[in-house]
Structure 1
Amino acid sequence: MPRHADFVTSLAISVVSWQSGNGTRHYCAVRRGVLSVVGGRDVVIATREAVPGDDLAILDKTVLARFHADLESERTENVESTRLRLNAIRQMMYHLRPGHRTGVGMFS
Protein backbone atom coordinates (compact mmCIF):
# COMPACT_ATOMS: atom_id res chain seq x y z
CA MET A 1 0.00 0.00 0.00
CA PRO A 2 1.29 3.47 -0.73
CA ARG A 3 3.01 5.23 2.19
CA HIS A 4 2.73 2.12 4.35
CA ALA A 5 4.98 2.27 7.40
CA ASP A 6 7.93 -0.09 7.55
CA PHE A 7 7.49 -2.89 10.04
CA VAL A 8 8.65 -6.36 11.03
CA THR A 9 6.54 -9.18 12.47
CA SER A 10 7.03 -12.84 13.23
CA LEU A 11 5.07 -15.54 11.46
CA ALA A 12 3.82 -18.80 12.92
CA ILE A 13 2.50 -21.47 10.58
CA SER A 14 0.93 -19.29 7.91
CA VAL A 15 -0.15 -19.06 4.31
CA VAL A 16 1.02 -16.01 2.43
CA SER A 17 -0.81 -15.01 -0.74
CA TRP A 18 -0.07 -12.49 -3.44
CA GLN A 19 -1.29 -11.55 -6.89
CA SER A 20 1.05 -11.36 -9.87
CA GLY A 21 0.86 -8.66 -12.51
CA ASN A 22 -1.43 -10.73 -14.71
CA GLY A 23 -3.91 -11.23 -11.85
CA THR A 24 -2.95 -14.82 -10.99
CA ARG A 25 -3.12 -15.59 -7.27
CA HIS A 26 -0.18 -17.48 -5.70
CA TYR A 27 0.23 -19.03 -2.26
CA CYS A 28 3.08 -20.12 -0.06
CA ALA A 29 2.81 -22.12 3.17
CA VAL A 30 5.37 -20.84 5.69
CA ARG A 31 6.48 -22.52 8.89
CA ARG A 32 7.77 -19.79 11.18
CA GLY A 33 9.59 -16.80 9.86
CA VAL A 34 9.87 -13.05 9.79
CA LEU A 35 7.87 -10.78 7.51
CA SER A 36 9.04 -7.22 6.89
CA VAL A 37 7.74 -4.35 4.81
CA VAL A 38 10.48 -2.06 3.56
CA GLY A 39 10.03 1.28 1.85
CA GLY A 40 6.26 1.02 1.99
CA ARG A 41 6.11 -1.48 -0.87
CA ASP A 42 8.65 -4.30 -0.66
CA VAL A 43 7.48 -7.30 1.35
CA VAL A 44 10.24 -9.68 2.42
CA ILE A 45 9.80 -13.02 4.20
CA ALA A 46 12.68 -14.89 5.80
CA THR A 47 11.97 -18.50 6.75
CA ARG A 48 13.67 -21.87 6.88
CA GLU A 49 10.72 -23.79 5.53
CA ALA A 50 8.27 -22.71 2.86
CA VAL A 51 6.29 -24.56 0.22
CA PRO A 52 4.89 -22.55 -2.70
CA GLY A 53 1.79 -23.56 -4.59
CA ASP A 54 -1.01 -22.26 -6.74
CA ASP A 55 -3.77 -24.31 -5.10
CA LEU A 56 -4.74 -23.20 -1.60
CA ALA A 57 -6.75 -26.37 -0.92
CA ILE A 58 -3.74 -28.61 -1.60
CA LEU A 59 -1.50 -26.47 0.60
CA ASP A 60 -4.07 -26.61 3.37
CA LYS A 61 -4.58 -30.38 3.23
CA THR A 62 -1.00 -31.53 2.78
CA VAL A 63 1.57 -28.94 3.75
CA LEU A 64 -0.15 -27.22 6.66
CA ALA A 65 -1.17 -30.56 8.14
CA ARG A 66 2.46 -31.72 7.93
CA PHE A 67 3.71 -28.46 9.48
CA HIS A 68 1.30 -28.86 12.41
CA ALA A 69 2.26 -32.53 12.89
CA ASP A 70 5.96 -31.62 12.86
CA LEU A 71 5.33 -28.88 15.41
CA GLU A 72 3.53 -31.30 17.73
CA SER A 73 6.38 -33.79 17.38
CA GLU A 74 8.90 -31.08 18.29
CA ARG A 75 6.86 -30.18 21.37
CA THR A 76 6.85 -33.82 22.50
CA GLU A 77 10.62 -34.06 21.98
CA ASN A 78 11.15 -30.86 23.98
CA VAL A 79 9.05 -32.18 26.86
CA GLU A 80 11.01 -35.44 26.94
CA SER A 81 14.34 -33.61 26.76
CA THR A 82 13.33 -31.31 29.61
CA ARG A 83 12.20 -34.29 31.68
CA LEU A 84 15.60 -35.98 31.21
CA ARG A 85 17.48 -32.80 32.16
CA LEU A 86 15.39 -32.33 35.29
CA ASN A 87 15.97 -35.93 36.37
CA ALA A 88 19.73 -35.50 35.89
CA ILE A 89 19.69 -32.30 37.98
CA ARG A 90 17.71 -34.06 40.73
CA GLN A 91 20.29 -36.86 40.81
CA MET A 92 23.17 -34.38 41.00
CA MET A 93 21.46 -32.40 43.77
CA TYR A 94 20.83 -35.60 45.71
CA HIS A 95 24.47 -36.62 45.53
CA LEU A 96 25.83 -33.13 46.21
CA ARG A 97 23.68 -32.29 49.23
CA PRO A 98 25.47 -31.83 52.55
CA GLY A 99 25.74 -34.98 54.61
CA HIS A 100 25.41 -37.31 51.64
CA ARG A 101 27.74 -40.25 52.03
CA THR A 102 30.07 -40.70 49.06
CA GLY A 103 30.64 -44.12 47.63
CA VAL A 104 27.02 -45.15 48.10
CA GLY A 105 24.41 -45.15 45.38
CA MET A 106 24.29 -44.89 41.68
CA PHE A 107 27.41 -42.72 41.15
CA SER A 108 29.86 -44.55 43.43
Structure 2
Amino acid sequence: MTGSTLTLVISTPLDVIFRADDVYSVRAEDESGGFGILPRHVPMLAVLPACVLRWRRKTGDWSFCALRGGVLKVEGGKEIRVACRQGVLGSDLSTLERGVQEHLEAEDEAARAARVEQARMHVRAIRQIMLHISDGGGMDMDAAIDGLMQ
Protein backbone atom coordinates (compact mmCIF):
# COMPACT_ATOMS: atom_id res chain seq x y z
CA MET A 1 0.00 0.00 0.00
CA THR A 2 1.17 3.51 -0.67
CA GLY A 3 1.77 6.18 1.96
CA SER A 4 -0.92 8.56 0.73
CA THR A 5 -4.62 8.01 1.26
CA LEU A 6 -7.98 8.96 -0.16
CA THR A 7 -11.04 10.50 1.42
CA LEU A 8 -14.17 8.49 0.67
CA VAL A 9 -17.63 9.96 1.19
CA ILE A 10 -20.79 7.96 0.45
CA SER A 11 -24.06 9.87 0.68
CA THR A 12 -27.75 9.44 -0.02
CA PRO A 13 -30.22 12.28 -0.56
CA LEU A 14 -30.93 12.24 3.19
CA ASP A 15 -27.59 11.51 4.88
CA VAL A 16 -23.87 10.88 4.66
CA ILE A 17 -23.73 7.15 5.38
CA PHE A 18 -19.92 6.80 5.34
CA ARG A 19 -16.89 9.08 5.52
CA ALA A 20 -13.24 8.13 6.01
CA ASP A 21 -9.94 9.90 5.37
CA ASP A 22 -7.71 6.80 5.52
CA VAL A 23 -8.75 4.85 2.42
CA TYR A 24 -5.95 3.28 0.37
CA SER A 25 -7.94 1.89 -2.54
CA VAL A 26 -11.48 1.69 -3.92
CA ARG A 27 -13.07 -0.81 -6.30
CA ALA A 28 -16.32 -0.15 -8.14
CA GLU A 29 -18.02 -1.04 -11.39
CA ASP A 30 -19.92 0.77 -14.07
CA GLU A 31 -21.61 -0.51 -17.22
CA SER A 32 -18.21 -1.14 -18.86
CA GLY A 33 -16.92 -3.30 -15.98
CA GLY A 34 -14.94 -3.10 -12.75
CA PHE A 35 -12.26 -0.51 -12.02
CA GLY A 36 -9.96 0.51 -9.19
CA ILE A 37 -8.96 3.87 -7.79
CA LEU A 38 -5.72 4.63 -5.94
CA PRO A 39 -4.40 7.93 -4.53
CA ARG A 40 -3.45 10.47 -7.24
CA HIS A 41 -6.03 9.04 -9.66
CA VAL A 42 -7.01 11.38 -12.47
CA PRO A 43 -10.34 13.19 -12.05
CA MET A 44 -13.24 11.09 -13.27
CA LEU A 45 -16.98 10.68 -13.15
CA ALA A 46 -18.73 7.30 -13.39
CA VAL A 47 -22.38 6.29 -13.32
CA LEU A 48 -22.73 3.20 -11.13
CA PRO A 49 -25.47 0.62 -11.58
CA ALA A 50 -26.67 -1.40 -8.60
CA CYS A 51 -23.34 -2.79 -7.38
CA VAL A 52 -21.07 -3.35 -4.41
CA LEU A 53 -18.48 -0.64 -3.72
CA ARG A 54 -15.34 -1.96 -1.96
CA TRP A 55 -12.56 -0.08 -0.20
CA ARG A 56 -9.50 -0.85 1.87
CA ARG A 57 -8.49 1.24 4.88
CA LYS A 58 -5.36 1.43 7.05
CA THR A 59 -6.14 -1.90 8.71
CA GLY A 60 -5.94 -3.67 5.34
CA ASP A 61 -9.45 -5.10 5.70
CA TRP A 62 -12.01 -4.59 2.96
CA SER A 63 -15.28 -2.81 3.68
CA PHE A 64 -18.35 -2.89 1.46
CA CYS A 65 -21.41 -0.87 0.54
CA ALA A 66 -24.22 -2.26 -1.60
CA LEU A 67 -25.42 0.62 -3.75
CA ARG A 68 -28.73 1.03 -5.50
CA GLY A 69 -27.14 2.91 -8.37
CA GLY A 70 -25.28 6.18 -8.06
CA VAL A 71 -22.57 8.50 -9.31
CA LEU A 72 -18.89 8.28 -8.35
CA LYS A 73 -16.63 11.32 -8.67
CA VAL A 74 -12.86 11.45 -8.15
CA GLU A 75 -11.58 14.96 -7.38
CA GLY A 76 -7.97 16.11 -7.14
CA GLY A 77 -6.62 12.58 -6.94
CA LYS A 78 -7.43 12.45 -3.25
CA GLU A 79 -11.20 12.56 -2.77
CA ILE A 80 -13.89 10.15 -3.91
CA ARG A 81 -17.53 11.09 -3.53
CA VAL A 82 -20.32 8.63 -4.17
CA ALA A 83 -23.90 9.88 -4.37
CA CYS A 84 -26.43 7.05 -4.37
CA ARG A 85 -30.15 6.52 -3.93
CA GLN A 86 -29.60 3.96 -1.19
CA GLY A 87 -26.61 2.25 0.34
CA VAL A 88 -26.19 -0.59 2.83
CA LEU A 89 -22.82 -0.85 4.62
CA GLY A 90 -21.17 -4.13 5.60
CA SER A 91 -17.84 -5.46 6.83
CA ASP A 92 -18.10 -8.76 4.95
CA LEU A 93 -20.06 -9.89 1.93
CA SER A 94 -22.22 -12.49 3.67
CA THR A 95 -23.32 -9.98 6.33
CA LEU A 96 -23.91 -7.40 3.61
CA GLU A 97 -26.04 -9.85 1.64
CA ARG A 98 -28.23 -10.48 4.71
CA GLY A 99 -28.44 -6.73 5.36
CA VAL A 100 -29.51 -6.03 1.80
CA GLN A 101 -32.11 -8.81 1.97
CA GLU A 102 -33.53 -7.40 5.22
CA HIS A 103 -33.57 -3.91 3.72
CA LEU A 104 -35.44 -5.12 0.63
CA GLU A 105 -37.96 -7.02 2.77
CA ALA A 106 -38.58 -3.90 4.88
CA GLU A 107 -39.10 -1.84 1.69
CA ASP A 108 -41.53 -4.44 0.35
CA GLU A 109 -43.51 -4.36 3.61
CA ALA A 110 -43.64 -0.55 3.57
CA ALA A 111 -44.84 -0.59 -0.06
CA ARG A 112 -47.49 -3.18 0.82
CA ALA A 113 -48.72 -1.03 3.72
CA ALA A 114 -48.84 2.04 1.46
CA ARG A 115 -50.92 0.14 -1.14
CA VAL A 116 -53.37 -0.98 1.56
CA GLU A 117 -53.74 2.60 2.83
CA GLN A 118 -54.19 3.87 -0.73
CA ALA A 119 -56.95 1.31 -1.32
CA ARG A 120 -58.68 2.37 1.92
CA MET A 121 -58.60 6.01 0.87
CA HIS A 122 -59.93 5.10 -2.57
CA VAL A 123 -62.86 3.15 -1.06
CA ARG A 124 -63.61 6.00 1.33
CA ALA A 125 -63.66 8.49 -1.56
CA ILE A 126 -66.01 6.28 -3.58
CA ARG A 127 -68.34 5.92 -0.57
CA GLN A 128 -68.46 9.68 -0.15
CA ILE A 129 -69.26 10.13 -3.84
CA MET A 130 -71.98 7.47 -3.63
CA LEU A 131 -73.47 9.16 -0.55
CA HIS A 132 -73.51 12.44 -2.42
CA ILE A 133 -75.18 10.86 -5.44
CA SER A 134 -77.77 8.98 -3.36
CA ASP A 135 -78.46 12.20 -1.41
CA GLY A 136 -79.88 13.56 -4.65
CA GLY A 137 -77.17 16.15 -4.93
CA GLY A 138 -78.43 17.96 -1.82
CA MET A 139 -74.90 18.26 -0.48
CA ASP A 140 -72.92 21.23 -1.74
CA MET A 141 -69.51 20.78 -3.38
CA ASP A 142 -67.56 22.10 -0.36
CA ALA A 143 -69.24 19.56 1.92
CA ALA A 144 -68.47 16.76 -0.56
CA ILE A 145 -64.80 17.76 -0.67
CA ASP A 146 -64.70 17.98 3.12
CA GLY A 147 -66.16 14.48 3.27
CA LEU A 148 -63.47 13.18 0.93
CA MET A 149 -60.74 14.67 3.06
CA GLN A 150 -61.91 12.96 6.27
Instruction: Supply the distance in 2 between the matched residues of 1:36 and 1:92 (Cα, whole angstroms).
Output: 50
Compared CA separation, residues 74 and 33, structure 1 to 2 (3 A): farther
1:23 is displaced (CA, Å) by 4.6
* TM-align CA RMSD: 3.8
Q: Which runs of 5+ in 1 are unaligned?
A: none
| 1:25 Cα offset (Å) | 1.7
2:104 equivalent to 1:68: yes
SS in 2 for 1:97: helix
Which of 28, 44, 54 is matched with 1:4 structurally?
44
TM-score (norm 2): 0.47
Aligned pairs, how many?
Answer: 98
Higher strand share: 2
Say which structure, 1 or 2, has more relative contact order (CA 8 Å, 6+ apart): 1
Return closer, same or farther for 1:2/1:89 CA change in 2, 3 Å cut-off.
same
Are positions 1:39 and 2:79 aligned together?
A: no
Residue 26 of structure 1 pairs with residue 63 of structure 2: yes
TM-score, structure 1 normalization = 0.60
* Deviation at residue 87 of structure 1 after TM alignment: 0.4
* Shift in Å, 1:93: 1.4
Identical pairs, percent: 15
Q: Distance in 2 between matches of 1:87 and 1:2?
A: 58
The match for 2:90 is: 52
Matched position secondary structure for 2:44 = coil
